[in-house]
Structure 1
Amino acid sequence: MLLPTIERFLRDFNIAPTRFGRDCARDPRLVFDLRLGREPGDRVRRRIEHFMNTYRRSIGQ
């Protein structure tokens, strides 16, 4: 259930989907492709999860 987690993250931190994709995976279309059914590989999934965890820690949440 990666996409719902990403969607919640985008809402909670008011981040644009393109910014999120660019910052975490160097792919500005990442979120849009996930919304269309793209399944990320393990490496991309780990990068996304690492980015969200690091971002949360950096702002103290």
Structure 2
Amino acid sequence: MERNLLHRIEAFLAESRMPPSVFGRAAAHDPRLVSDLRGGRAPGRSLICRVEHFMNKWRADFHAGRVMKRGDQRFREEKRA
């Protein structure tokens, strides 16, 4: 189950262009979530449900036009006038 969750998260990160730390903070208030899962952390049932809910809600909001793919904001070029 944990590996399956990690695969779904990795696919979501690629789809949303969201950095892992931003995802972890938004989905579970834990910026190290993805890193820990990659390192072998075993998530509990409630964490799995929170993460799945976040991904499903983000996708629904994206398709409704309420959120946009933002990518990693650390590398965004700033436009100056």
Q: What is the TM-score normalised by the length of structure 1?
A: 0.97
CA RMSD of aligned residues (A): 1.0
State the 1:21 CA deviation.
Answer: 0.2
List gaps (5 residues or longer) in structure 2.
65-81
List gaps (5 residues or longer) in structure 1.
none
Highest RCO, 1 vs 2 (Cα 8 Å, sep ≥ 6): 2
Percent identical among aligned pairs is 49
State the 1:34 CA deviation.
Answer: 0.1
Q: What is the TM-score normalised by the length of structure 2?
A: 0.73
Corresponding residue number in structure 2 for 1:60: 63
Q: Which one has the largest radius of gyration?
A: 2
Q: Which runs of 4+ in 1 moved over 2 A?
A: none
Residue 31 of structure 1, aligned match among 25, 34, 51: 34
Which of the two has greater helix per residue?
1
